[in-house]
Copies of this chain bind each other. A is one copy, B any other.
Amino acid sequence: MSSAAPLWRRAVAEAVGTGLLVTVVIGSGIAASALSPSDIGLQLLENAFATALGLAVLILMLGPVSGAHFNPVVSAVDWWLGRRTGTGLTPRELVAYIPAQVVGAIAGAVLANLMYAKAAVSWSTTDRSTGHLWLGEVVATAGLVVLIFALGWSGRAAVAPAAVGAYIGAAYWFTSSTSFANPAVSIGRAFSDTFAGIAPGSLPGFIVAQLLGAIVGVGLLAVLYPDAGQAANDIVTPHTDTTTTGATK
């Protein structure tokens, strides 16, 4: 069903989904910091609660159209791992997905700002550029990549929405960087000087760390699921849902 959608429609879905994900992240962060001013941990718990639920819902909502990547790293790994078998994104599709995700993310930040009666754009001043935060991004992105493709290859894409939401909800807490794990969302978060923001100057370090994390994730997949990439083509997986997150398009 998803393959039936023309590429422009899938790009729209990626833009809408990535945008609303940024709206969820920034919007809930603004609400949390305004309503729970005396405890930053409680703010992060509120932010994580909203993001875990909201991300799961967005993947359910748009998975049948585009696969619900919402993340250039996921799209790139999907292309890379599917080259041999022809199951991943084509280069042409990748080139459509990534700009859609980035443009959507920026629009999502503007929407969050406007919903809370703030200026449409305010550059974030939150510096996030130390080595241990980069390590956090490597771990966060590697785990996300392993999760998504492990689910897809083992015929369990139907649980991906809940699982990816749960992963990010946990990773907000167990990584020091609060788990951005997504270059497009990172860029979007630079456009709001609020709780979930990141200063533009910190973006390059985060994005490089996320790409490194993707490479680590691909390496772990090669060790843990060496045959799965091919097997996915051979097996008729029963009860596979049409919801996908990149791996079972």
- Closest chain B CB from A98 CB (angstroms): 19
A174 touches B132 (CB 8 A): no
**Choice from B57, B60, B150, B173 contacting A170 with Cβ under 8 Å:** B57
- Range class of the A interface residue count: 35 or more
- Closest chain B CB from A133 CB (angstroms): 8
Chain A residues packing against B (C-beta within 8 Å): 1, 9, 12-13, 16, 20, 23-24, 27-28, 31-32, 34-54, 56-57, 60-62, 64-65, 111-112, 114-117, 130-132, 135-136, 139, 143, 146-147, 150-151, 154-156, 159, 162-163, 165-167, 169-176, 220, 223-226, 239, 241-243
Return 22 A-B CB contacts under 8 Å, by A number.
Answer: A20-B143, A23-B174, A27-B174, A27-B175, A36-B39, A36-B41, A37-B41, A39-B39, A39-B42, A45-B49, A48-B49, A50-B169, A54-B166, A54-B170, A54-B171, A56-B166, A57-B147, A60-B151, A60-B163, A61-B146, A117-B130, A117-B176
